[in-house]
Structure formats: C-alpha cells, structure tokens
A and B are shown apart, each in its own frame.
Chain A
Amino acid sequence: MNASYTYAVARPFRLDLLAGLRGVDGAPVRLVRHDDLVAVVSSVPDTGFDERSLEALPRLAEVARAHHAVVAGVAAHTVTLPCRLATIHRGDDRVAAVLRDRYPRLRAALDRLAGRVELGVKVYTEAGPPAVAASGPPAEVPAGTGPTAALGGLPSNIHTDAEPPTAGSPEAARSGRDYLRRRRAEQRAREEGRGAAHQAAERMDAELAALAADHRRHRPQDRRLSGAEGEHILNVAYLVAADQVGAFTAQARALAGGGLRVEVTGPWAPYSFAPPDEADEPAEDLT
C-alpha cells in the first residue's frame, strides 16, 4: 500500500512546468485537485517511511532536500503554501478531503502570499565576544609589579582584616581586587557591546520590516553549533514582494557594518508565513 506525501498546497499550475521534478525517493510528483486548489503529492510506502528512519541524519537530510526541491519548484510557478516535512495521508482522496475541509482558510492564506516570497536575514556580530584582557588570574601577576603597584595607597580592607599581613599579601589582595575590577569592567564592556549590537540589529529589523509585508522572528542559531563566525543575534524571515527581492537584499546588505555582518538567504517559498498550527483548533475526526 502506498500513502500520499504532501509537499505543498498551491493554486493550480501545469504539472509539466516541473519538468519531471521528482519527490522523496525519486517518486514522480502529481497534483490532487479540489476546486481551484491543488496539493502537490507523491507516493511513499506506508511502511518504511517512519520516524525511526528519519532520526538517521543522512536519511533526514535526503528527505528534507527532496521536500524542499519540490516546494521550491512549485513556488517558482505559482502561489505556494509549503507543508511541514512528512505530511502523510492514506491516499489522494484523503488529501482532497483536506483541501475541501480547509478550503476557505487555504484560499485566504494563498491570497495573502500571492506575488510574495520569503527572504531570510541573519545578523551576526563581526567577531566573537571581545577577548579577555591579556593578564590571567591574580596568581599569575607577580606581586608588586602589576598595575596595582602604582595605586599603593588604596585601602585594603577586603581580604586582609582577618589575618595579620604577611609579606606580599596586601599586594596579592590588591592584585586580586584589581583583577576582579578589571573583569567587571571587561564584562561591562562586553555587555555594552552586546547591547549596542542588539540595538543596532533591532533598528535593522525595523528598517527592513518597513519594506516587507510581514516578518517573523526565528530563534538565532547557536554559534557553538552552527560554526558561524560571530554571535548570531538576529534571525528573521521577511515576506517581500517578488519584484522587490533585489532592492530588499541590497538594503539588507547595506545595513551591515559597525561590527555587524548580514547574511541574506532565499528567496524561499513562504515557509515562515504559513497559517497557524492546527494544534490550536479542536481535533477533527478524520476516521
């Protein structure tokens, strides 16, 4: 038995425009139609396409690429609502029922997306956080030679009260205080730098949002894990008129500088502007 894997819901288009584009596992793509809506589907075995296999990264990558290729292929020709990965029904009649049951909502979503594409903008700080100043912890600062030696007159009432001073201990205490003071200053500078970067990114977002029909904030990607240079401080998807892509991209890139790096991705089918999850609605009895 085969099941139907749905890539996207779209306005009708000529399937031959996809020029033989294949879906997951090389299966041919077909259209399931209801009124003036189509679902773009292909067959997958109803056994053997399961979550266990999708936990293997190469398999997931393969399916994700195939899914995305079909969505992008369709979006190049018609208004497209991309579905989430692995949307699977028992057959085409079940897919048609989805189109029928959700018709008003799908139509409204497509109307809103007509003539628009999604662009991703990722903003990074130019480099990692400022390096910690050259000196190490107090133990590495020879007593009396550190910068605190010049400030010998400062009261040393923090660590030295309890015990009689031994040779070198006031200096060590001063080095310690100085170290902590320096660390605090560095931390403050780092936070101020980060705050300024975030403020600049917010301004950037406001400026770009003004050029877009809609925008969605996404979670920044983890720097340690993405391997990207700098801290990822802003990750936004913008819904932009298709004929404004060039202008929008140029504007986004022009906003780089001042320690911020800008990366523009897309155009994407409007993945980030799909209607809200059905999970929020009362469950339907589909059986």
Chain B
Amino acid sequence: MTELTTRAPQAPAPNLADVLERVLDKGMVIAGDIRINLLDVELLTIKLRLLVASVERAKEMGIDWWEHDPTLSSRAIREVER
C-alpha cells in the first residue's frame, strides 16, 4: 500500500442526470466480451434529464411522451423520481 492518493472530500450524492452524463458518455471504453449496445446515449440522457429534472414541469410544457412510451410506465417514473 504505497500509492494511496489524497482522499477526495466526500461529496453529497450527485443528481442522476449528472451521474448518467458521466457513466454513459464518459469513462474509459474497454471493448468487453459481451457487448451491451445501450440506447443512443443522447436520446437516453435527454429522456432521463426530462424525467429526473421535473415531471411536473415537463407536463406543464405539454411534454408527456412517456405516457405513451411502453418502457416508461407511471410506476417507473415514480421509481426514478424517488
């Protein structure tokens, strides 16, 4: 154990949109044996930002596509908001 670095201060839990921006768009790419082709990253993060940011606000603006999106039941939205 010779190579410990300065411990970074503990940050509060980051919001999901920021986490997704990093884990989906950034980070080291190593070709794995099992390929996971994630949904188009931009589309995905846009979808997620929308959900994470504010469902109420989105509804005010008349954006309600998820109500017709089979992958996004209202239960799912509640879980994401939790």
Which residues on B sit within 8 Å (CB–CB) of A272? 22, 26
Chain A, residues 76-109, CB within 8 Å of chain B (1/0): the string is 1111011111111110001000100010000001
Q: Which of B4, B24, B33, B79 contacts A85 (CB 8 A)?
A: B24
Q: List 6 A-B contacts (CB under 8 A).
A: A54-B39, A57-B76, A86-B38, A90-B34, A115-B6, A227-B53
Across the interface, do B33 and A88 meet the contact criterion of CB distance under 8 Å?
A: yes
Known: A117-B8, A266-B11. A226 touches B49 (CB 8 A): yes
Known: A83-B28, A85-B27, A86-B36. A77 touches B54 (CB 8 A): no
Known: A51-B36, A51-B38, A81-B28. A115 touches B72 (CB 8 A): no
Known: A13-B4, A50-B36, A117-B8. A265 touches B27 (CB 8 A): no
In chain B, positions 11-48 with a C-beta closer than 8 Å to chain A are 11, 14, 16-34, 36-39, 44, 46-48
Chain A, residues 6-36, CB within 8 Å of chain B (1/0): the string is 1001011110000000000000000000001
Across the interface, do A64 and B19 meet the contact criterion of CB distance under 8 Å?
A: yes
Q: Footprint of A on B, CB under 8 Å?
A: 1, 3-11, 14, 16-34, 36-39, 44, 46-51, 53-54, 57-58, 61, 63, 71-72, 76-77, 79-80
Known: A13-B4, A79-B5. A55 touches B27 (CB 8 A): no
Across the interface, do A84 and B27 meet the contact criterion of CB distance under 8 Å?
A: yes
Across the interface, do B3 and A79 meet the contact criterion of CB distance under 8 Å?
A: yes
Known: A46-B34, A76-B7. A64 touches B28 (CB 8 A): no
Across the interface, do B7 and A3 meet the contact criterion of CB distance under 8 Å?
A: no
Q: A225-B49, A246-B9 are in contact. List 6 more A-B contacts (CB 8 A).
A: A14-B1, A54-B38, A64-B20, A86-B32, A94-B33, A268-B14
Across the interface, do A84 and B76 meet the contact criterion of CB distance under 8 Å?
A: no
Ranked 10 nearest A-B pairs via Cβ: A227-B53, A274-B28, A84-B27, A242-B6, A271-B26, A86-B36, A271-B22, A227-B54, A88-B34, A58-B79
Tell me which of A160-168, A187-195, A207-215, A275-283 binds B: A275-283
Alpha-carbon gap, A49 to B49, bound state (A):
23
Which residues on A sit within 8 Å (CB–CB) of B23? 64, 67-68, 71, 82, 84-85, 271
Q: Footprint of B on A, CB under 8 Å?
A: 3, 6, 9, 11-14, 36, 46, 49-51, 54-58, 60-61, 64-65, 67-68, 71, 75-79, 81-90, 94, 98, 102, 109, 114-115, 117, 120, 218, 221-222, 224-228, 237, 242-243, 245-246, 265-268, 271-272, 274-275, 277-279, 283-284, 286
| Most chain B Cβ neighbours within 10 Å, of A57, A58, A76, A243 | A57
Across the interface, do B49 and A88 meet the contact criterion of CB distance under 8 Å?
A: no
Across the interface, do A64 and B24 meet the contact criterion of CB distance under 8 Å?
A: yes
Across the interface, do B9 and A267 meet the contact criterion of CB distance under 8 Å?
A: yes
Alpha-carbon gap, A225 to B21, bound state (A):
14
Alpha-carbon gap, A200 to B28, bound state (A):
32
Q: Which of A84, A226, A242 contacts B26 (CB 8 A)?
A: A84
Q: Which of B3, B28, B50, B79 contacts A78 (CB 8 A)?
A: B3
Alpha-carbon gap, A225 to B50, bound state (A):
5
Which residues on B sit within 8 Å (CB–CB) of A83? 27-30
